[in-house]
Structure formats: C-alpha cells, structure tokens
Amino acid sequence: MAKFGVGQPVRRVEDARLLKGIGQYTDDISLKGQAHAFVLRSPHAHAAIKGLDAGAARAMPGVLAVLTAKELAADRIGAVHCKTDYKNIDGSTMFKPDHNALASDRVRHVGDPVALVVAETLAQARDAAEAVQVDYEVLPAIVDTAGALKPGAPRIWPQYKNNLVLDWQMGNAGAVEAEFKKAKRIVKLDLVNNRIVVNAMEPRAAIGEHDARANSYTLRTCSQGVHGIAGQMAEALGVDVKNMRVMTGDVGGGFGMKIFAYVEHVLVLWAAKRVGRPVRWTADRGESFLCDTQGRDHVSHAELAVDADNRFLAIKVSTVANLGAYLSNYGPFIPTDCGSGLLVGVYAFKAAHASVKCVTTNTVPVDAYRGAGRPEAAYLVERLVDLAAIELGTTPDALRAKNFIPRAAMPFKQAMGLTYDSGDFNAAMATAMKEADWAGFPARKAASKARGKLRGIGMSYYVEACGGQPNEKVTLVVNDDETVALMIGNQSNGQGHETAYSQLVSEGLGVPLESIKVVQGDTALIDYGMGTGGSRALPVGGVATNNAIDDTIAKAKDVAADALEAARADIEFADGQFRIAGTDRSIGIFEVAKRARAKKIDLKGLGEFTPPAATFPNGCHVCELEVDPDTGQVALLRMTMVDDFGRIINPLLLAGQVHGGVAQGVGQALLERTVYDSESGQLTSGSLMDYALPRASDVPSFTVLWNNQPCTTNPLGIKGAGEAGAIGAPPAIINAIVNALGIKHIDMPATPERVWRAANGGRQAAA
C-alpha cells in the first residue's frame, strides 16, 4: 500500500470501478416496487392551455396516475424558485416568476412539462401520455435575445409589462465617460456569445420515494451537491428539510447544469407520495435538449478608450442576456455579478462600467455552464483587445504587455473593484509565445499560403474569479480497521475529488492512499455542504480537509500520549507516527484509533474554511490554425496553454481539467450553436444529428504548462482550475481565425459557412 502526497501525478483512484463498469449512476439504481414516470411536454413554444383531458390515459393498462396542474394545486405543491435576488437600476425588485412543476394556464417553451404519467413500465407511461388530450391556443413566440426588448415583442408573462426582468449595472459610469473624453481612439465591437446545450455524458435522472409514516422523502439524483437540492425540495413540498434526504452516487458530468433543483425532482417525489411507490424518471437525449438548462446567450456592445500611448483608459459594455422562459436558480447571477467584474481582464484600466439587461424568451431556461459568466467576460475583452491592436496598428502581444497589471503591483484593485492577489501575466504570455514559436509563425504562414491555405495565430489572456465564498465543512474519521473516512458536502462529477482529497489525507496523516474513502452525496451522512461549482473543491474544500487533518492529529495526541506514557507536549507527529520527541518510542495512527475505540472515543476531526476572497487563476492561450478558403474548414494545428493555478495538488488531474475545458471551448468557438426557429420557437438543433459537438478529429494535441504564483487567499495557495480551458480557448481560436482571414471580427461559432463567407468577400452568414 502506497502513500501519495501533494504534487504527485496520481492516477484517479475512482477510475478502477468506473472502467470495470461497477460504478453506480442514478439510472443504475433499481428499487423494489418502483414505477416509471414519463413527462408529457409542450410541443409549442408559447400557447394557452384551454383544456386538458386525461381520462383515456388514466384507463390504459399499467397506468398508476396521470398528474396535472389541477392535482398539483390541490396538493399545494410549490414552485421551484430562482434563488437570486437583485434590484433594478431604479431600485425596484427584479421580476421573478414562479416555475411550477407542471404548466397550468400557459406553456412558455417547447418542452415545458404539462402532465406526468406514472405506470408500471416506461413503455406504458409513454403510450398513456399519447392519449392525454391537451387543447392549445398557439400564441406568438419570441426567441431572439435582443428582439425580446423590441416594441411589440410577444410578452412571455402577460402580468408583467415587458420581457425585461432585470436592468442592472456595475462600475462607475461617470468615471468611464470622463476617461472616454480623454481618449485618442475609441474601439467598438458588437458580438454574440452563442447559446450552448450542455450535453453532459450522463442524462439527468431522478428517483423519488415517500415514507408515509414519517412523511419523509428520499430523492436519488445525479447532482453537483445534495444539500441545496434538499432545501429546494423541502420548500416545494412543504416539509422540514430534516424530512428530505437527497442522495447522489457517481455522476457523468455536470458543468453547472446539475447543481440545482429541477421540476422533475419535485414531480418524482410528489408522484411517489401519490402512488405509494418509488417513482423513477430518466431523460433521453432528445428530452435533455428540451429540459436541461442551457448556457451563455448574450448579445453585447463594447467600447474601449485608448490614449495616445496605446494605454487603456476605460471600457464600457452593454449586454442583453437571455434567461429563457423561467428564471433558473442562478440565472440572473451569471451575466451580472458572476461575470461582469472581470470585463477588465488583466489590464490596468482606470475605469469600467457594465450594463446588463436580462430578458425572458420562449426558450429553455439559461443558467451556469462551465465558467458561468467568466468565459463571456474573457471572450468580450480579449476580442476587443485584439481588435484594438488591429485598429492601432500594433501587435496583440505588444498591446497586452503595455497594459498588463504588473506583478510588482500585486495586490491590485482593478477597475471593477476586485482585488487580484497574485499573478505574473507578462511571464505567462512570454512562456506561451516561446513554446508556441510565435516568432517562427511568418515562415509557417508563407508555407500555408503556398499550399492555398490561410494560416492564423491568435492569443488570449484570461483571468477568472473562483474558489471563493461561501464556506465548506469536513469530517474526518480514523477507524480502528485501518481505514480513514473523509465526509465532505461537495460532489464529484468527473473532476477526481476522491483522488485529490485522498492525496491531502495521505500526506497529512501518513496513511496509504488505498485506506482512504471519500464520502459524498448523502444528506443523511453529511450534514452540510455547498456543492461543487466555481472550482471550490480544493481552494475551499481542500483547506477544510487540511483543517480536519490538523484537528484529528490534535485529538489523537491525547490518546497517543496516554499510550506512550508521556506528556502531550512531548508528542510529535510525522509520517503516520506519534513519537516522544528525541526518542524512538512511537505508536502509529491506526493503533491510536484502536486504543481510542477501546475507550469509546471516536477519532474524529472537524474542519471548516471560509475564504476571505476568491482566487484568480489566469493564463495565456495561443492557437495556431489553418483555414481552407474554398470550403471554410478550420483545422486547429497547435494549442498552447500556460496557466497560473497556484499550488498544484495533482498535475495529472489538473492537465485533464484543462484538456476538457479547452475541448468545450473548441466546441463553442467552432461548432456548437443552439438554434430556435424565429417563427414557431421550435428548437431546430434539438438532437445530436443537428447540434455539433467536437470530436477527436476537431481537437489537436495540447501543450499545457504552468506559471504558478501561489495565491494568498487560502493557506494552501491553490487557485481554482476547473473552468480555465473553457474560458481561454474561445477568444484565442476566434482571434486566430480573424488573423488568418485578415478581417476584424467573426461571431462564434465560426462554422465553415461563416468562415467561407468571411474569406470570400467579408460576408457573414445571416443565420
């Protein structure tokens, strides 16, 4: 049995069971007496429900219940509420419509749930759903983000005056205007941040149970944290949160989409109480397109003021952010506080201002997607900086270098009010350029031209805020059977939590990696947790784990001192052994645990950490590519990333996180585009036949290097890393395409059609 500590490239310990097929995802669970649920969804983007007849469906074979909004209201089942509150610029409260589990008078997007059919088998539930008769009066729909604010646009919520649910701002508008008056040049850019369908490998699933005697519920579901969902379910069902147990096993990807509650969670729990049996539901891939929250979807106008010496003075941005038909849990937070504070990037702006208008449309709700606001901010500022370099007649690296916040200025309070504690941006860019052979690019460009291809190179420099508040708590138990249990309230969904936490424990307690079990995903076993999101697992959970290790050792010293017949002050601990200082008399930690258990003492350490501020990972991405002007096809040739993640726990896991994020960034930059028909509101890219995800052939080999500057906002010096690739890759890729084509801008995704049009006359596709 081996001990592996911090900094070692340990392979993921969880992979053994997953590769053998003995992991347990939600859909793998089969409960005695379980029934199957099928959700009948609206075929219309916007329609009034004039009538609903479920009589024939209820009489069909195997059907246990057909539940509608009528039964929902009768049982007083509450809505799933958006948990974000903001004030409008005028001081009024933002509009937050209820999101009921089943639509009653109106449906607001294709896929809106109308009825739940519960039957003995899924096939019977599907058949019965087809027999439910719904009388729809089709209404005009609006799916266009900017169009939602136009006069006469269809209103999603008739009781509200328009589709603007939040009018918000950040920064100092007066200071920005003063700096703009001093400017030698103002650079302007309009751009779109395209909507993304998350497409986690594991579809969402849920199994609900109800205990009639205790009036308690159990929900099994794939999630990014069980405690927040438990609170939302307790609220919707009208029970104390103590009567709500939520459990999550293995999770096949989340990316922000699985961090909060959905109406299907409410439905299976409510249905389980209604039929007196466990009720299960699993989305198929097509259903996921219609019911999982989606990401991004911003339309922005940005302006950058530059002085005569090419130094940035100020930036101002106005954005319309599409939140979909309903306000999801963090929906309004993503384009506002989550991202807008980083619109200044890593540059020493004197002033900045952002205006965000959040709108509702007849589309699937929008919420967190890998990076959640930070990719949108980085894409905007890095495209604007590259455009400024073109218009100023300088190079993108020279313009960045002139305007970077210098390392010597750290900590630095940037123009939006965030304080960067550490970072060496010039060094990271220089390393990336050297590794990518930036200087040798002209020769490669000439060689491509000789073959009839257009070669481009582009860079981006991102910074993000993550790994911050709130707190996290950990319980660490050393058992007398020579095992250690770490109980923590966040949730792995592919990042390698079990491995990283085990490395911390192995190093801290000096015990074999194989002896450590990480326990997550059960509110009955873990009493607190903030879930996994915003790259908090190690910057916050890791520090809490270290604090629990220290507490465990401190408590164990009393038992060790008694066993060694020495004063507690004379006991030292290292490499799993308690030793009397200056002697060879020692006792191992597992032996101490056995002695503690004999005395009916649990060797249990508690750890908690509340970070004083976020961490600010940052890095330079360089992309080199070729464009075929005859077809518009883009071939990614080289991608080089130099990131600053502070202290590294496991470089192998870290590289994997960067690789995965970059692949998703490639998807957004080149391929992924969620398309709704402008007239009917139908999702025309509603399957993997119509929605393009990156394949292996679309993604080149990556060069991943580090330029780590330990952060000062947590004792481990760790910066978050989970979103980095998805933040840095899109602007680097688009900057490279713009460079190859000799144009000023092209919107994502840079599909072959769009690229071909830009290469042949500068025309972009209207679609």
Alpha-carbon distances of 473 from 523, 638, 707, rounded to whole Å: 13, 42, 30
Q: What was the pLDDT predicted at 767?
A: 42
CATH number of 15-23+469-609: 3.30.365.10
| 39 three-state secondary structure | strand
Confidence of residue 235 (pLDDT cuts 50, 70, 90): very high
Residue 764's pLDDT is: 45
CA dist 302 and 191 (Å) reads 8
Average pLDDT over residues 539-556: 97
- Confidence (pLDDT) at 161: 82
Q: Give the pLDDT of residue 1.
A: 55
Per-residue pLDDT for 204 more than 90?
Answer: yes
Residue 702: per-residue pLDDT: 92
Three-class SS of residue 434?
helix
Average pLDDT rounded to a whole number, residues 439-468: 98
Query: CA 190, 311, 345: angle at the middle one, nearest 5?
Result: 55
Distance of CA 473 to the CA centre of its chain: 21
How crowded is the C-beta side of 366, counted as CA atoms within 13 Å? 27
Residue type, 258: K
Sequence-separated (6 or more) residues with CB below 8 Å from residue 572? 578, 579, 580, 581
Residue 217 reports pLDDT greater than 60 = yes
Beta carbons of 169 and 88 less than 8 angstroms apart:
no
Residue 25, SS3 per DSSP? coil
pLDDT at residue 763 greater than cutoff 60: no
Q: What is the pLDDT of residue 433?
A: 98
Per-residue pLDDT, averaged over 630-644, amounts to: 98
The alpha carbon dihedral of 677, 682, 683, 688 has a sign of: negative
Q: How much is the CA Rg of the chain, to the nearest whole Å?
A: 27
116: tokens are 């739940």
Q: What is the pLDDT of residue 765?
A: 43
Residues in the chain: 767
Structure tokens at 556: 């164990």
Mean pLDDT for the stretch of residues 686-715: 95
Return the CATH fold of 31-139+204-291: Aldehyde Oxidoreductase; domain 3 (3.90.1170)
Is CATH 3.30.365.10 what the domain over 149-194+296-392 is classified as, yes or no? yes
Strand, helix or coil at 216? strand
Confidence (pLDDT) at 160 = 87
- Which candidate, 3, 1, 108, 128, places its Cα nearest to that of 61? 128
- Output phi, psi for 419, to 5 deg: -110, 115
766 pLDDT band, cuts 50/70/90, is very low
* Sequence letter at residue 472: E
| In contact, 94 and 85? CB cutoff 8 Å | yes
Which pLDDT tens digit goes with each residue over 491-512?
A: 999 999 999 999 999 999 999 9
What is the rounded CA–CA span in Å between residue 501 and residue 510?
Answer: 13
Q: What is the pTM of this model?
A: 0.96
Residue 177 has a pLDDT of: 98
Mean of pLDDT values over 459-486: 96
Give the Cα separation of 683 and 289 in Å (integer). Answer: 8
pLDDT computed for residue 4 by the predictor: 76
CATH of 421-467+613-767, one of 3.30.365.10, 3.40.50.150, 3.10.20.30, 3.20.20.70: 3.30.365.10
- pLDDT value at residue 2: 65
E strands present in 33-112: 35-41, 47-53, 63-67, 106-107
Q: What is the pLDDT of residues 329-360, one digit of tens each?
A: 999 999 999 999 999 999 999 999 999 999 99
User: Within 10 A of 696 (CB to CB), how many other CB atoms are there?
Assistant: 6
Please tell me the predicted confidence (pLDDT) of residue 122: 98
* In the chain, where the domains are located: 15-23+469-609, 31-139+204-291, 149-194+296-392, 421-467+613-767
15-23+469-609 and 31-139+204-291: identical CATH topology: no
Which of 643, 179, 171 has its CA nearest to residue 418? 171
In the predicted structure, residue 218 carries a pLDDT above the cut 50:
yes
How many angstroms separate the CA atoms of 513 and 644, rounded? 27
Is the separation of the CB atoms in 719 and 707 below 8 Å?
no
Q: Does the pLDDT value for residue 125 go beyond 80?
A: yes
Neighbours of 441 (CB within 10 A): 17
138-187 pLDDT tens trace: 999 999 999 999 999 999 998 888 999 999 999 999 999 999 999 999 99
- Please check the confidence at residue 615 and state whether its pLDDT lies above 50: yes
C-alpha distance across the termini of the chain, in Å: 59
Q: Are 261 and 230 in contact (CB under 8 A)?
A: no
Rounded Cα gap, residues 295 and 225, in angstroms: 19
